[in-house]
Chain A
Amino acid sequence: MTEIIRLLKFFRVYRRWIALSIALSVAAIAANIALIATSGWFITAMGLAGLAGVAMNYFTPAAMIRGFAIVRTGGRYAERLISHEATFRLLAVLRTWFYERIEPLAPAGLQAFRSGDLFTRIRNDIDRLELFFLRLFAPAAVALLVSLMVVMVLWLYDGRIALTQFGLFALAGVLLPAAVLRFGAAPSERITERTARLNMLVVDSVEGLAELHLYGQAQARAASLRALSDDIIADERRLARLSAISQAGVGLAANLAMFLALLLAVPAVALGHIAPPELTMLALMALVSFEAITPIPLAIQSLPGTLASARRLFAIADAPPPVRDPLEPVPVPQQGDLVFEGVCLTYPGAREAALTDIDLRLAPGRRIAVMGPSGAGKSSLVGLALRFWEPSRGRITYGGVALDRMPSDELRRRFSVVSQHDHLFTATIADNLRVANPGASDADLEDACRIAQIHEFIVAQPDGYRTYVGMNGLKLSGGQARRLAVARALLKDAPVLVLDEPTEGMDGETEQALLAAVMKARSDRAVLLITHRPVRLETMNEIVRIENGRVVR
C-alpha cells in the first residue's frame, strides 16, 4: 500500500496530464456506449415509425450517432497519446532518479548487490512501473466513473435493471479482480524476482564464460538458465490462464447483463413502463458498458509484480548512504597533508579489523610507498582516503580538516587514483581516458599515454585512440588495461596521486619505464604508491610496511 502511495506521488507532476487522459478516456468509452445504444434506439424507433406510418425527427439522433462516432475515435487517440507520453516521461525521470540514488551508495553500499541485479532494477523494474500507471491507475478511475454513469442512466429508466447492472459491474470489476489477485499474486511476484535472477545469472555467465567451459559447468549453467526461463514462463502461463479466465469472465458478465436487462425490460415493455425503442437501447447499453471494466482484472493481476518491482527500487533508494556528507561542509583546502591518526577500520560483518592504529602523513610533493602482504590493508587506506569508507576509530585529515567535515566529491578532486580494480568502459580508448577529464585535448591524451607506456600500442591499432575497448576491456591484456588506467589517472590534475599496484600484469621493462616516467612527469605531486614489488623504491621518500592491518617499521 505504501508503495502505491509513493508511486502516485511520483505522478504528481503529471497529474494534469493524467486527469486529462482520464477525462478523454471516459468520453471515448461513454461515446461508444452512447453510439451503440443510440443506434439501437434509433433503428427501433424508426422501424416502429415505419410500421405505424408516422414521421419522426430523425435528424437529431442521426447527428448524435455521427457525433458519438467522432468523439469515440478522436478521444481514444488523444487519450492514448497523452497517457503514454506522461508515463514514458515519468519512466525516463525515474531511471535518472534511481541512478542518482545508487550513485551515493557506491561502493560500500552496493557491495552486497550484483551488477546484474542492479541493472534489472534500473531497466526492467522501472519498465514494469509502466503497467501501474498505464494499465491500472487511470483505467480503474475510468471504470469507476463510467460504471457510475451507466448505472445512473439505467436508473432513470428502470431501477431493477440499474441494480442488476451495478451488481454485475461489482462482480466483474471487484470480485473477479479480487480472485485474480488472490491466485495471481504469487506468480506475479515470482516473475519479478526471477527476471532479476535470470539477468543476474546471464551477466555472471557471460563474464565467467571461460571458467564455465573449463570446469565443465557450461552445460549445467545453460540448463539452469533454461530452467529459470521455463520457471518464469510457467508462472506466466499461470497468469495467462488466470487472465483468460478473467477476460472470459468479463465477457460472460457483459452478456449476462444484456440477458438480465432483456428479462427485466421485456415485461416492462408489455406493461408500458418502458417504450419499445428503450428496450433495445437498455439491453445494448448493459452489454457495451463492460468495455470500461475489461482492463481491470488484467491490471490487478499485474499489480503484485509491479509492486514487487517498486519495492525493489525503493529498497535501494531508501538505503542510507554508507558515508554521509556533512550538513555544513567546510571547503576543501587546495593542498595539504593527508594525515591518518590512529585510524582503525573494521568492515561490517568482518571478524577482524582490516586496519588498526594507522598513523601516516603524506605531505605535498612527498612520496610514500606502502608495502605489505596481500590482505594487509593497503587498499583499505585508499578507500578511507577517498571517503568510500569511514574509519571505525581515529581521524583522517586533509590540509588539517577532518575528512568528514568536507563534501566528499570535492575531496575526491584532490586525488588522482589508479585503484586496484579500475573499470574500463565499453567505449573507445579516448572516451575511457576522458572519464578523468572530459575537456582533455588529444595531445593531453597522448602525453598521458606516453607516460603510461601505452601510446605506441594504441597508435599501432587500426583505429588508434578510437579503438573500441571490448566487453569490460577484455580485448586488452591485463597489463594493457592497467596502463590505460594509469594514463587515465594521469589525465586528472590533482595534487595527490594514488597508485594501487599500478604495474600489475606488466613485464619488468614496462614496469620500470612506467614508474620512472610517472615519477618524472609528476615530480611535484604527492604520491602514495601501493606495491608489493620492490621496484623503483629509490625514488620514494618513505617506505611504509603494513602487516595485518598495522604499520610495522
Chain B
Amino acid sequence: MSFLKAQKPFAARYLTLSVALSAANGLLIIAQAWLFAAIVAAVVVEKRDLSGVATWLAALPPLFLARAGLAWAAEYFAFQAAARVKSELRARLVSHVMKLGPVGLAGEATGRIVSAVTDAVQMIEPYFMRYLTAVPLVAILPLAILVAVLPHDWLSATVFAVTAPLIPLFMILIGAGAERMNQRQWRKLARMSGHLLDVIQGLTTLKIFNASRSEAARVAQMAEAYRRDTMTVLRLAFLSSLVLEFFATVSIAVVAVLTGFRLMWGDMVFFDGLFVLMLAPEFYMPLRNMGTAYHARMEAVGAAERVVEILDMPVPGSPSGTRKLDGGRGCAVRFDGVSLIFPDGRRALDGVSFDIAAGERVALVGPSGSGKSTIFNLLLGFVAPSAGLVAIDGVPFGELALDDWRRRIAYLPQRPHLFEATAAQNIAMRLDGADVDREAVRQAARQAQADDFITALPRGYDTPIGEHGAGLSGGEAQRLALARAFYRDASFVLLDEATAHLDADNESLIGRAVDQLSRGRTLLAIAHRLDTVRAADRIIVLDHGRVVETGSHQDLLARGGTYAQLWSHSREGRIEP
C-alpha cells in the first residue's frame, strides 16, 4: 500500500488537474439542476410558455458544452496520471530485473516475471485513474451539494448528511476481508502464469512422457482455481456496490417521497423540491464512483505486492566501479580467500585462492557442483563474494567498471541462449536490428565450424533462430553460440564446456580455433571431460567449493591425487569406433 502511495508524486500534477476539472464539472451540475428546476417550475407553476423561459433555456447548451469539455479533460488527465506511473514502474521493474542478473533471478519462474511486468503494472492503472481521482471528489462534491441544498430544504439535506457517512462505513466493513482475497487472487494468477509458460516450454517433454494430456487437467484445474478466486473477489466488490447503490437509490426514493408530501401539504415551494430531487443522484454519485474504484484499489494493492516482491529481490552482483583496465590483451586474475554463501545457506565457494597470469590458459576441473560455475559468475560480476577478494590486473573487482570489464570477455555458457533474432544478429549480438559486419560474422562462424550449416539454412545468415535453437541440431546451436564468442576481440576468454554436443572432428577443429582465439589472451575453461584440458597450461581442481590441486596435466597425474583418479576413470571403457 505504502508502495502505491509512494508512486503518487509521479502523477500528482495530473491528478490534481483531473480532480479540479471534475470538481468544476460538479459545480456546473448544480447550476444545471438549478436551471432545470427553474424552467420546469416556471412552466408548471407560473404557466409560462417557451418565450417565458427562453433565457434560461438558452443558458443550457453552453453549459452542456462546458461540462462535456470538462469531463473530457478530467478523464484524459486521469489517464495521464496513471500513464506516468505505469511507464515509470515498468522501467523500474525492467531495470531491476536486469540488475538482478541470472544469479539473482534464478529460482524465479519466468512466467511470474512476465506477469509482473505486463499484467501487474496494467492492474495498477485503475488505482491512479479511478480511485485517486474519486477520493478527493467525495470530500468536495457532496459538500458543495449539501451547501446548495441546505437553504432550500433542510430535511433532505439531513437525509443526505446522515446517509453519506454510512456508505464508506459499510464499504470499509466489507472491504476488510477483500484485501487478503485480492492478494490471494494475485498469487494464484502469478502461479498460473509461471506454470503456463513452463508447460508451454516443456510441451515436447510432456508429450514424450505421455503427460501432456493429463497436463490439460492441471491447466483446467488452475484456470478454474483462478476463476474461483476472481469470483470471490468480485462477489465482494459487487456486494459493496450493492450496498452503495442501495443506500443511494433508497435515499433518492425517500427524498422524492418526502418532498412530494411536503409539496402537497404546501410546506415547500415546487422549485425547491425539484431542485433537490435533481441533485439527489448527484449527491451520491461521487460516493458510488469511489465504491467502484475501491475494488480497483484492492486489485492494485494485490498487483503492487507482486511488483514490490520483484523490486525487493536483492541484487547479488557487486555494483559497478569506475576503473577501466588498460588496453593489453591478456589479464591477470587473482582469487584471494574467496567464499560465497548464498542467502539460503548453501556454501558455493569456501576460501578459494588462485592466481592466473596474463596470457595463461587454465582449466577448471571438478565434479558437478564443485563451484566451477560460481567462479565464472564471480568473474562475470553476476554475484559478489561473501568474503575474500577477486582482482583483475591487481584492481579489486568492486572498483572495476563492469561494462568495460565485460567488454573484454568472450564467454560461452554451458547453456547458451539464442535470442529472438537472426543468425547473424545472434553472432554479432546486435539485437536492436543495427547493421552487423557481415564479414566479421562469417569469419567467426567459420572458426566455430558454423558457416556451413548457417549458409544452408533457408535464409542463410538472415534466418530467424527459433527458441532454444529450434530448427537446429544440438551441436549446431552450440556452434552458433560459440561463433558469438569468436566474434568478440576479447582479452579474457571464459568457456564453459565449449565443445559440448560436438563430435570428435568438430571438437578438434574447434579446439584448434579456441587455441588460436586464446593466443596471447587469458583463457579459463571449465572442462567436464578431461581430454579437453590436456592442452591447458595449468589445471585447477575443485571439490566442494575448495581448490584441492593445481598443476599441469603431467604434474597432477604424477601426484596421483583427485585429478589422477578422475583421469583414469575417464579413460576406462573407451574404444575407438
Complex: how many Å from CA A124 to CA B575?
Answer: 55
Contacts of B512 in A (CB 8 A): none
What 19 additional pairs, Cβ within 8 angstroms, besides A47-B44, A95-B219?
A44-B44, A66-B253, A73-B242, A73-B246, A99-B216, A114-B467, A115-B200, A208-B417, A213-B101, A216-B407, A263-B57, A373-B475, A374-B475, A374-B479, A379-B473, A437-B209, A477-B368, A478-B497, A505-B500
Complex: how many Å from CA A112 to CA B465?
Answer: 9
Contacts of B230 in A (CB 8 A): 88
Complex: how many Å from CA A532 to CA B357?
Answer: 34
Task: Give per-residue flags for A94-112: 1 if the beta carbon is below 8 A from chain B beta carbons, else 0.
Answer: 0110011011001100111
Task: Give per-residue flags for A1-16: 1 if the beta carbon is below 8 A from chain B beta carbons, else 0.
Answer: 0000000000000000
A230 interfacial by beta-carbon distance below 8 Å: yes
Contacts of A221 in B (CB 8 A): 98, 431
Q: Which of A81, A107, A510 contacts B470 (CB 8 A)?
A: A107
Task: Give per-residue flags for A251-273: 1 if the beta carbon is below 8 A from chain B beta carbons, else 0.
Answer: 11001101100110011011000
Complex: how many Å from CA A93 to CA B198?
Answer: 20
Complex: how many Å from CA A457 to CA B370?
Answer: 11
A285 interfacial by beta-carbon distance below 8 Å: no
B289 interfacial by beta-carbon distance below 8 Å: no
Interface residues of B in 42-82 (CB under 8 A from A): 43-45, 47, 49-50, 53, 57, 60-61, 64-65, 67-69, 71-73, 75-76, 79-80
Question: Can you list 12 pairs linking A and B with CB atoms under 8 Å apart?
Answer: A36-B281, A77-B241, A89-B227, A103-B216, A115-B200, A212-B98, A222-B98, A229-B90, A350-B458, A375-B473, A422-B205, A508-B529
Tell me if B106 and A58 are in contact (CB < 8 A): no
B281 to chain A, nearest CB (A): 7
Contacts of A423 in B (CB 8 A): 201-202, 204-205
Tell me if A116 and B197 are in contact (CB < 8 A): yes
Tell me if A386 and B208 are in contact (CB < 8 A): yes
Complex: how many Å from CA A286 to CA B528?
Answer: 81
Interface residues of B in 224-263 (CB under 8 A from A): 224, 226-227, 230-231, 234-235, 238-239, 241-242, 245-246, 249-250, 252-253, 256-257, 259-261, 263
A198 to chain B, nearest CB (A): 6
Task: Give per-residue flags for A492-511: 1 if the beta carbon is below 8 A from chain B beta carbons, else 0.
Answer: 10000000110011111111
Task: Give per-residue flags for B303-347: 1 if the beta carbon is below 8 A from chain A beta carbons, else 0.
Answer: 000000000000000000000000000000000000000001100
Tell me if A279 and B431 are in contact (CB < 8 A): no
B206 interfacial by beta-carbon distance below 8 Å: yes
B86 interfacial by beta-carbon distance below 8 Å: yes
Contacts of A229 in B (CB 8 A): 86-87, 90-91, 94, 121
Task: Give per-residue flags for B400-417: 1 if the beta carbon is below 8 A from chain A beta carbons, else 0.
Answer: 000100110101011111
Q: Which of B201, B259, B263, B506 contacts A115 (CB 8 A)?
A: B201
Contacts of B97 in A (CB 8 A): 205-206, 209
Tell me if B69 and A218 are in contact (CB < 8 A): no
Contacts of B107 in A (CB 8 A): 468, 470-471, 475
Q: Which of B69, B194, B216, B565 contacts A248 (CB 8 A)?
A: B69
Q: Which residue of A lies closest to B242 (CB)?
A: A77
Contacts of B192 in A (CB 8 A): 123
Tell me if A47 and B270 are in contact (CB < 8 A): yes
A365 interfacial by beta-carbon distance below 8 Å: no
Tell me if B529 and A244 are in contact (CB < 8 A): no
Interface residues of A in 59-101 (CB under 8 A from B): 61-62, 65-66, 68-69, 72-74, 76-77, 80-81, 84-85, 88-89, 91-93, 95-96, 99-100
Known contacts A123-B193, A471-B106, A532-B504; is A77 also within 8 Å of B373 by CB? no
A51 interfacial by beta-carbon distance below 8 Å: yes
Tell me if B198 and A425 are in contact (CB < 8 A): yes
Q: Which of A214, A233, A252, A374 contacts B502 (CB 8 A)?
A: A374
Interface residues of B in 464-504 (CB under 8 A from A): 466-468, 470-471, 473-476, 478-479, 484, 488, 497, 500-504
Q: Which of B208, B270, B466 contacts A412 (CB 8 A)?
A: B208
Contacts of B158 in A (CB 8 A): none
Tell me if B409 and A537 are in contact (CB < 8 A): no
A224 interfacial by beta-carbon distance below 8 Å: yes
Complex: how many Å from CA A102 to CA B199?
Answer: 11
Which one of A159-167, A234-242, A397-405 contacts B?
A: A234-242
Known contacts A42-B260, A43-B263, A72-B249; is A507 also within 8 Å of B566 by CB? yes
Known contacts A206-B97, A249-B68; is A214 also within 8 Å of B260 by CB? no
A309 interfacial by beta-carbon distance below 8 Å: no
Tell me if B263 and A47 are in contact (CB < 8 A): yes
A138 to chain B, nearest CB (A): 16
Say which size band chain B's interface belongs to: 35 or more
Which one of A150-158, A174-182, A333-341, A413-421 contacts B?
A: A413-421
Tell me if A252 and B574 are in contact (CB < 8 A): no
Known contacts A81-B238, A88-B231; is A538 also within 8 Å of B575 by CB? yes
Tell me if A280 and B569 are in contact (CB < 8 A): no
B577 interfacial by beta-carbon distance below 8 Å: yes
A469 to chain B, nearest CB (A): 9
Q: Which of A40, A198, A244, A421 contacts B79 (CB 8 A)?
A: A244
Q: Which residue of B lies closest to A207 (CB)?
A: B417
B408 to chain A, nearest CB (A): 10
Complex: how many Å from CA A35 to CA B72?
Answer: 28
Contacts of B91 in A (CB 8 A): 222, 226, 229
B10 interfacial by beta-carbon distance below 8 Å: no
Tell me if A373 and B369 are in contact (CB < 8 A): no
Interface residues of B in 427-446 (CB under 8 A from A): 429, 431-432
Tell me if B241 and A80 are in contact (CB < 8 A): yes
A435 interfacial by beta-carbon distance below 8 Å: yes
Q: Which of B210, B214, B432, B473 contacts A224 (CB 8 A)?
A: B432
Contacts of B575 in A (CB 8 A): 534, 537-538
